[in-house]
Structure 1
Amino acid sequence: MESAEGVDDAVGAEMRAYADELRASFLRLQEEAPALHEKARAVQVTEKSEDGLISATVGARGDLVRLDIDPRVYRRPDSRRLADAITETVHRAADKARARVVEVFDPIIPADQMRAHLDGDLQRVLDDMAARMLGKK
């Protein structure tokens, strides 16, 4: 049976190891992040609708940069269908742009952490950090 001191020493060693890992990650982030940030900001994704009549280009944050609508859409005037097709096309482009941003930062930020950050899921980020500090990840 392990003594309380032995357990405390093991937990302390895990916490020190995690702190060292965080320090190294932070230094790497400081060094590499500016270039990766510029690369991520330059991400643009273009998607076409299923019928090919709508083309939507979004930026890294899913913001609409360009929307092209083929004049043939007016052959079948249906504003609800057109609006739905535009929305769906923009959402697919935004999802792909988000995935590319995650890929850009993958060398320095684990994909799960980056997705949590982009989702604004602070609780998931904090839970992950706590699990790592306790040696559960």
Structure 2
Amino acid sequence: MGSPERPDVAAMRAYADELREMFTRLQDDGLELHAKAKAVQATETSRDGLVSVTVGARGELIRLDLDPRIYRRPDARALADTIAETAHRAAEAAQRRVIEIFEPVIPPDAFKAHLDGDVETVLSRLAEDMGGSR
């Protein structure tokens, strides 16, 4: 009869099994998910309806449409701010869609942390999952 595993070893084994399962799912579904994510586009319209911005999966500008009525108010700063704010909302929408696509294989909070470059959150989550703290 073997001795029971220490809780920290059992937690690490469980986490390793979870990572192995996630990796297997990524291998099986990864190319399809990548293609879907790469094809993501998000379009947002400004609050005044005069600016429309379409971005790709990484937030890159694909299309910018300006309603001719913008020329009735020749305020370059306001127009620039409107374009920037609308593009930011479109990029956030695209990121949410990419996270949704990968949700079956990567937990949304972990994937968002990776996309945001939030190394502290990624490492903290890893430490928690391994039974430690950071």
**What secondary structure is seen at the aligned counterpart in 2 of 1:109?**
coil
Q: How many residues align?
A: 131
2:95 equivalent to 1:98: yes
Candidates 77, 81, 105, aligned match of 1:84: 81
Task: Give the Cα separation in 1 of the matches to 2:89 and 2:108.
Answer: 19
Deviation at 1:135, TM superposition (A): 7.0
**What secondary structure is seen at the aligned counterpart in 2 of 1:130?**
helix
Task: Give the Cα separation in 2 of the matches to 1:118 and 1:124.
Answer: 11
Task: Give the Cα separation in 1 of the matches to 2:123 and 2:27.
Answer: 21
Instruction: Map 1:1-137; keep pairs closer than 5 Å.
Output: 9-134=6-131
Q: Does the 8 Å CA contact 1:47/1:56 hold for their aligned counterparts?
A: yes
**What secondary structure is seen at the aligned counterpart in 1 of 2:84?**
helix
TM-score, normalised by the number of residues in structure 2: 0.91
Task: Give the Cα separation in 1 of the matches to 2:86 and 2:18.
Answer: 41
Report Cα offsets for 1:57-102 as digits up to 9, x if no partner: 0001111100011111111111111111111110110111111111
Identity %: 59
Query: Which runs of at least 4 in structure 1 moved beyond 6 Å after TM superposition?
Result: none
Q: Which amino acid aligns with 1:111?
A: P
RMSD: 1.6
Q: Does the 8 Å CA contact 1:116/1:122 hold for their aligned counterparts?
A: yes
TM-score, normalised by the number of residues in structure 1: 0.89
Structure 1 segments unaligned to the other structure (5+ residues): none
Report Cα offsets for 1:18-75 as digits up to 9, x if no partner: 1111111111111111111110110001111111111100001111100011111111
Task: Give the Cα separation in 2 of the matches to 1:26 and 1:119.
Answer: 21
Task: Give the Cα separation in 2 of the matches to 1:123 and 1:51.
Answer: 38
